[in-house]
Structures are given as structure tokens and as C-alpha cells.
Homo-oligomer: A and B are copies of this chain.
Amino acid sequence: MAEDRPGTDGGMAWEGISPTLEDVAARAKVSTATVSRCLNAPQRVSERTRERVMEAVRALGYAPHFGARALAANRTNTFGAIIPTMENAIFARGLQAFQEELGRHGITLLVASSSYSPELEEEQIRTLIARGAEAVLLIGQDRTPESYTLLRRRRIPHVVAWTNARGEGPVSIGFDNRKAMAALTARVLEQGHRRLALVSAPRAGNDRARERAEGVSEAMAAHGVPPADLVLIETPYSITNGAEAFARLMARRPRPTAVLCGNDVLAAGALRQAREMGIDVPGEVSVTGFDDIELAEIVTPALTTVHVPHRAMGAGAARKLMALRNGEDVGASEELEATIVWRESLGPAAVG
């Protein structure tokens, strides 16, 4: 078979004969079609047959070649996902649900992390396509036009999550970052706070961060508080950055009475810094987060934050992508609810 030529075999240097689909079929005493079905659509093969074939696959150390699999069935059963970061757990639970749903259908997930760089994400999209990813999950709306051109030209099904669709564009499953942050800000204002600060991720190339910041301004305007009064600090997501931003805000006179954070990681850093400075939260200053990752519950005081529907979003994205891959109609984009979780870090504005 052509794809047994060294050089077309994963680009790895190797010598000697590598087992072929035929070798596996012969050992398992089944047809090559059955072998490829086992590899590409296991759910369509009886457990006993699958067992026998997989035993042969293992015994021979067979690894389906790119070419072999492509010819055996026009499928690689490999999906890709590109998330902005693996450094914290923001995307972890959603990604886990995404992978579990794909796994139930025999699809393997390969993940890349773009460090919030649209250029790096474009390279990773290119790599995932070159490596045979049949469909790709992306986070948010901001990316290079070339990324979408590439996905369209190569007919790669893709879904964007952690955001809701704005008019035209790819199918999305997620929530309205702006609306959610505006709702949280309204609660803060209802507690009497007027001197608000926002610790945001850099908004360039991050539509979620941008929409959350817009949500704060929107709610301020709606409550007759000049959005221009908002003190905004941009800093990458990390506990240390959150702590530093909080310290800078506390050095201002007058101090903000409420510090809204772009996510729970920054808020956890703010709480740590408040403790170090002996500032009582929420007695003197209120702090809020966004995401509701496990972290939000274990910090003291526990964070009042926006609960993101991580698992519903991840599992739903998997179902949409599989449907698209199978040529089915998935209908319009899907908006999920992001709800506010009241805990201990938000209280009434200190008087004066």
C-alpha cells in the first residue's frame, strides 16, 4: 500500500516493515473493512469482533496510518480544540465535558493552547487540519480573518464557544458575556457602590473580556453613574496579576469601594492581596469574579461571581460538532444562561 512507504508514515524516520491493515485483518480473521470499521466507527461493530480486532492491533503494534485510515473510511475520528490557556482552570471543566461527549462516540480529542494569541491560534488551526482533525472547537469570536478563510476553504466544521453569536459568522454555543457582566454590575450598584473598578484581561484579541467591560459600562449608565468614572486596569489572568492590580487600586484616593474582576483567578488574587493589606472584604471593599470555577468556592470570603454553564456548553459543543461533521443541520447558534452566584465577597458600600 502506498501509505506504507517510509516518508508518508507520519513523517517519522523508521525502518523495516510496519504492520498493515491487511496484517491486522488476517490475524483477527476478519475483513479489512471490519478492521477499519473498528477503528473508525467502533459503535457499529459487535463487542466480540472489536475485542478480537483490537487484540490483533495491539499484538502487531499496528498504528493506523494517516493514509490508511483516510482510505479505509473517510474519517480520522480526531477532533481538535484550541483554548486560550491551560494555565488555570477557566476552560478545564467545559473541555472535560466536551471530551467526554466525544469519547462516547469514539472520537479522540487533541487540544492546543494559544496563549490568547490569534496568530498562534491560526498556526494551530493550520496544524490541526494538517494532522487530520475533522472538526475544531474554538473559543470566542476574535481571530485572524485568515483563520476563518482556512476553515472555510478546507470545509472544516467548527463551532465557537464561551460566546454567543453576533449576526453572521460561525455556529456558536455559549452565553452573552456583556449581559452577564451587566447583570452582576447592577447587583453591585444596588448595594450602593458608586466608585467601581474593573480588573480586566487585555481586551485586544479577547472579545469576552471586551464584552464584559462593556457590560460594566452599560449597567453604570443605566443606573445614572457616568461610565467614565470606571477605573479600569488591564492585566493577564493570574492570581499574582490580580493581587498587583488590587494593590494599585487601593493606593488610589478615593479608593474604589467595589472591585469587579474579569474572572475568578484575578478575583482570588485580589482577595489574597486584601488579606495581606488587612483590608476587610466585603466590609471595606467588595470583590466579584466571573466563571464560577471551583476556586470561587474555596477562597475566603467565597466569591460572588457569574456562573458559566461549563459542562452544558462543552457537551453541547461536542454534539453540534459531531452533527456538522456528519453533514446534519444543527440549526442556529445556541445561547445558554449565565447566572449570578451570591456568596460572601459582595456587600453594601461602606458609608463615606
Contacts and interface: CB of A to CB of B under 8 A. Distances in A.
A339 interface: no
Contacts of A65: 130
A150 interface: yes
A108 to B, nearest CB: 4
Interface stretch (A92-100, A224-232, A249-257): A92-100
A69 B96 CA distance: 31
A146 B59 CA distance: 8
A132 B123 CA distance: 16
B131 A131 contact: yes
Given A96-B113, A131-B76, A150-B61, A239 B298 contact: yes
- Chain A interface extent, by class: 35 or more
B153 A61 contact: yes
A271 B71 CA distance: 55
B11 A131 contact: no
B155 A13 contact: yes
Nearest to A109: B112
A140 B188 CA distance: 47
B66 A132 contact: yes
A63 B11 contact: no
A11 B132 contact: yes
A58 B146 contact: yes
Nearest to A68: B130
Contact of A12 (B120, B154, B272): B154
The 9 closest A-B pairs by CB, nearest first: A61-B153, A11-B70, A11-B76, A110-B110, A14-B155, A10-B132, A58-B146, A63-B129, A108-B127
